[in-house]
A = this chain, B = another copy of it.
């Protein structure tokens, strides 16, 4: 059950988003709506899913499982075990070795004031420093997730109300996070002071009770029939209870730094993020890219699925036909054939296949959204050449990914980032293309409707392209050991 255990399948040229969150207050079928919302957010994490519900008597119910939402919450008996009018849920992406059930969110704890469940998307940058201090104090950790740090900080807080305890905890943590929490009295949503990770507020129609919904993206509002109200603001905490929605901003005013990579790759194309529609933005990025790095060619071919809108924008701007020259196979299961040497040499791509009649004898512009390690790009270029392309030009709808993300996206270390180790000319040679171009940082900001990047006060978090980390990397700077002597599970 190791996900992506096979090298033929592992798509190491894509960063991985860590999570999607969803919460709903005051509606029938709260858990069913949460399952639907998590399904719409499935692209943000496929390794595990969990839902906690709160019933009318104040009792919490939970179900978690490894795998997709539909695999875990498709059973009527499971859903019947999650009664109540309030619920939160979580999709998880997990790196190898941590896919244990005990790490699947939402986390739950019994506090003096009653039960409390929490789920978050993002990453704390001082989690290990905090954890070490908490362990010294006698706190017992059961999982290896950042979320548990939140929970312990709330548990030991000297404040009385849940909200004050939560603020107390949030003031101690550093990092990028959007969280949803549930206790016997309220649904809570919060974003980090810079608003790096997304969180939106929606409302169910009156006929469904008019309850509030929190979700990582608007696509999750759409699926449950909720109307988009607004983004939760950076640093805002919203408390939703039976008297309505209450907002507080304990961190004062901080300039927002939303994650620019959400636009490039993570967010679903039908979502609207921070007021900007994702699909149209990707087309604009493609058009800007075409203006910046024109090349003569016969066809513009996207690397599906994520490269499609940018390729459409590129093709339209460049006046070159857009064609589906690469077909994506969506029937890829979780494991596949361990490749023998012969098969490895075939350069088999289980996810992608070349549409030979489109590529043979053509000068091809390949449009993709990013290059991480470069291994997948190299295989795709090889496949396109084997299909008969006479020239292959690669255009990337993001600047070179030169730095790791510590704010909730699973990028490899710098040593494995191709753009951190090589200049563009070398990358082109390694990948095997006739030309390679990335969109410029200013071009990217222009496509997002800015004048360009204001180096003094950038509108977005773009640390993966610039190395300018807006939130302190405390654990890494303190050279903390990332792991305490945590229990190793035996093989299953």
Contacts and interface: CB of A to CB of B under 8 A. Distances in A.
Given A308-B324, A324-B308, A270 B353 contact: yes
A222 interface: yes
A335 B76 CA distance: 10
Interface in A12-46: 28-29, 32-33, 35-36, 39-40, 42-43, 46
A379 B137 CA distance: 54
A156 B74 CA distance: 42
B71 A334 contact: yes
**Interface magnitude class on chain A:** 35 or more
B80 A491 contact: yes
Nearest to A53: B490
Contacts of A28: 340, 342
A410 to B, nearest CB: 18
Nearest to A5: B74
B59 A268 contact: no
B136 A139 contact: no
A245 interface: no
Interface in A337-351: 337-340, 342-343, 346, 348, 350
A487 interface: yes
A375 to B, nearest CB: 19
List the 9 closest A-B pairs by CB distance, nearest first: A81-B490, A70-B333, A74-B335, A63-B490, A138-B156, A277-B357, A42-B331, A270-B355, A138-B155
Interface of A: 6, 28-29, 32-33, 35-36, 39-40, 42-43, 46, 51-52, 58-63, 67-71, 73-82, 101-102, 108-112, 114-115, 135-142, 151-152, 155-157, 184, 208, 219, 222-225, 268-270, 272, 277, 279-280, 305, 308-309, 312, 322, 324, 327, 329-340, 342-343, 346, 348, 350, 353-358, 484-492
